[in-house]
Structure 1
């Protein structure tokens, strides 16, 4: 299996899980935040929706400047879900275009003449498109819990929802 196909398969398995989390954000809590230094729930949800497509677009370049971290405040949950759907479309279109040579080629972040980071493109996609995405999904899980919203299962059951892999107890 090509590297890109492997990453795409993982993305396809995780996108519906992320969608469940995003769909649970209450429309009236978009500006709520757990701490003054935290992003709002809407900003975090928007970031979670944007990351896969934004990262794969960045991977199309051989190098990028350090990203400026802007976390827009969405007006509606639908805006977040629309951003997520576009992100999915982008990943599905762009990721398969990378052959294994492109995935193993060095990808860089540079600031003028200074190299900030250099790694194989696959490492960038694994670490930022996927691992970073999962980390923010976990962070968003805490937001949902603090908002008293039932937390969906992800890798396994949550306190509110069983895992798709978990069998229901059978009556004795």
Structure 2
């Protein structure tokens, strides 16, 4: 299996899980945040929606400038987040299969002026940022839901609120 196809298969398995989390955010909680230095729930949800598509677009280049971590847009509605997520998913499905194994193993860089900030194989960038970074923020969003007393969806296993698809229903005695 090609490297890109392997990453895409994992992505396809995780995209519906992430969508379940995003769909749980109530419209009236978009501006809520757990701490003054935290992102709002809407900003974090929007970031979760945008990460995969934005990362795969950045991976199309051999180098990019450092991202601007100072600005996280505030969505006006949950539908705006879900629309951004759908577009992000479509971008990954369109772009990722275009990378052959040579491109995946080629060095990808973050460069600020003449200074190289990071260099790694493109596959490492996609694994670490498109997927691992995405999962980390999904976990963070899980905590937001818990603090808002919103039922947390299951992901790899059951949550305290929901059974896993891998967990059988209890049988009546």
Question: 2:28 maps to which residue?
Answer: 28
Summarize deviations over 1:94-145 as a string: whole Å, max 9, x none: 0000000000000000001100000000000000000000000000000000
Instruction: Tell me how far apart the structure 2 counterparts of residues 49 and 29 of structure 1 sit (CA, whole Å).
Output: 17
What secondary structure is seen at the aligned counterpart in 2 of 1:116?
strand
Matches within 5 A, 1:21-170: 21-69=21-69, 70-170=71-171
Instruction: Tell me how far apart the structure 2 counterparts of residues 99 and 166 of structure 1 sit (CA, whole Å).
Output: 37
RMSD: 0.4
Summarize deviations over 1:72-98 as a string: whole Å, max 9, x none: 000000000000000000000000000
Give the ranges of 4+ consecutive aligned residues of structure 1 lying more than 6 Å apart after TM superposition.
Answer: none
Instruction: Tell me how far apart the structure 1 counterparts of residues 72 and 95 of structure 2 sit (CA, whole Å).
Output: 23
Instruction: Tell me how far apart the structure 2 counterparts of residues 150 and 86 of structure 1 sit (CA, whole Å).
Output: 26
Instruction: Tell me how far apart the structure 2 counterparts of residues 139 and 145 of structure 1 sit (CA, whole Å).
Output: 10
In the alignment, structure 2 segments of 5+ residues that lack a partner are none
Instruction: Tell me how far apart the structure 1 counterparts of residues 105 and 153 of structure 2 sit (CA, whole Å).
Output: 35
What secondary structure is seen at the aligned counterpart in 1 of 2:52?
helix
What secondary structure is seen at the aligned counterpart in 1 of 2:144?
helix
Matched positions, count: 172
In the alignment, structure 1 segments of 5+ residues that lack a partner are none
What secondary structure is seen at the aligned counterpart in 2 of 1:4?
helix
Give the C-alpha shift of residue 161 in structure 1.
0.1
